[in-house]
Amino acid sequence: MRVARVARARGVLDRVARASRCARARDASASARSSASTDARLERAPAASPASPRFRFEVLRASTRSNARAGMIHTPRGTIATPGYVAVGTNAAMKAVRGDALRRAGIDLMFANTYHLMLQPGAATVEAMGGIHAFMGRRGPVITDSGGFQVFSLGTPDRSANAKGKTKELKSRKATKHRRENLLIDVSEEGATFRSYRDGTKMTLTPESSVLSQKQIGADIIIPLDELPPYDIDRETLEESVHRSHRWMTRSLETHLKDVRQQAMYGVVHGGVDRELRRMSVEYLSALPFDGLAIGGSLGRDAAELGALLEFLMPLLPKHLPNHLLGIADMENIEHAVANGVDTFDSCYPTQVARHGTLFTRSRGRINFRRAEFRTSTEPACEECECTLCTKHTLGYLHHLDRANEPLAWSLASEHNLYHMGDKMRRVREGILNGEI
């Protein structure tokens, strides 16, 4: 059964890959492809079936009041309840938080970054340690990205006078300690060449090498390599980037299908805020045997633009496949995403702001525990929360730990925000199942 399904998937992929190679040749001759020709080609392509036979998505209820839906993603290492928040553990670890905190918080899926794991300790080392689950002692499912976002973020930030006119977007690639110099050397049809921020080693990330690294790491859901252009980009360049991403993702999928194992692969929809390009990207990727679709690239300047994009885009996605919103999971955008039918979303935002003094609570809203008013508070952060902070400690104690630079403050605050996210998504799912959302 599994062999037959994979064989059918490869047949679909071969047909679309031949079309992709023809498109690549036309690109080489500097002849732009029109979306109309792409639409016609994809209309002739047969419907694709998922490549991984042990990965299944089940819709439990679709809302009649919005496009929200509640479901279950079944993986070999457990079930993911949707809609669901995905916690980010960049280096196969949650900063200042024990791994079992996710299970206790009701968060089913964890995100790890291929780029960082390639550099330290190395994908081969993770494989030698038994894969990422054995390496970090995690039983639940894990998703890894391709490494592309981090690689394309290695370019030197624009600090010129013209930078003041640049549009700030939701997923801005801000200057970091790793970007004092331009570490992104070249981007070609082959892939992206860059220098490691750790030791300056020159490396090339290709669609094939990204997938092979993710095979070594051993995540349950993997992402193909894609290009990540910024918000401020002309339409022609953006279209060229989308087509390149499609070619890279086709090559990624070809590599994945040669050795599926128990992994699922999500394609990544691109096109910035250009609706025609987004539609074309959905149609292209839907013709390939991906197990789900992620929404990537530039997602707009603010929550309003993201909301408008999702309202247009989400009805175009195949209903039988799970979807994932890459890199966005703040409170305001989660509500818009859920209402538009997003199944999962990842972000380091909840734990990042926790380490800088912000707690999310049901009873108080957002609070800054560094404020002087909490210095002598004998109350818990949130009466409804069951985390360690709220059941055993006071806001006054947390305020003291932070002022004393005790790492326990980061741990307690981060765990609390994870509990809040898990509880919020549980209530959202119940609302959908009860017909309230």
Q: Which residue intervals of 287-407 are DSSP H helices?
A: 303-313, 331-339, 349-354, 388-392, 395-403
Q: How far apart are CA 325 and CA 148, in angstroms?
A: 16
Say which residue the tokens 């932070």 belong to. Answer: 402
H/E element, 3: helix 2-28
Query: Going by DSSP bridges, is the β-strand pair 202-205/69-75 parallel, antiparallel, or unpaired?
Result: unpaired
How many residues appear in the chain? Answer: 437
Query: Using an 8 Å Cβ cutoff, are 323 and 341 in contact?
Result: yes
Buried b (16+ CB within 10 A) or exposed e, 221-243: bbbbbbbbbbbeeeeeebbbbbb
Q: How far apart are CA 417 and CA 403, in angstroms?
A: 19
Residue 234 a catalytic site member? no
Say which residue the tokens 């006078």 belong to. Answer: 161
Q: How far apart are CA 261 and CA 109, in angstroms?
A: 19
- The phi, psi pair for 328, rounded to 5°, reads -130, 120
Q: Looking at the DSSP assignment, which residues form a beta bridge with residue 85?
A: 345
Closest to 320 in 3D by CA, of 111, 55, 79, 64: 55
Query: Using an 8 Å Cβ cutoff, are 242 and 274 in contact?
Result: no
H/E element, 79: strand 78-82
Catalytic choice (108, 145, 274, 402): 145
Catalytic choice (220, 226, 343, 346): 346
Q: How far apart are CA 239 and CA 271, in angstroms?
A: 7
Query: Using an 8 Å Cβ cutoff, are 108 and 84 in contact?
Result: yes
Residue 259 a catalytic site member? no
Closest to 340 in 3D by CA, of 374, 372, 317: 317
3-state secondary structure of 287: coil
Say which residue the tokens 């990624």 belong to. Answer: 252
Distance of alpha carbon 130 from its chain centroid, rounded? 24
Q: In what order do the strands lie in the sheet with 69-75?
A: 56-62, 69-75, 78-82
**Residue 200 Ramachandran class (φ > 0 left, ψ -120 to 50 alpha, else beta):** left
Q: Indicate the DSSP class of residue 228.
A: -
**Residues annotated as part of the active site:** 145, 346
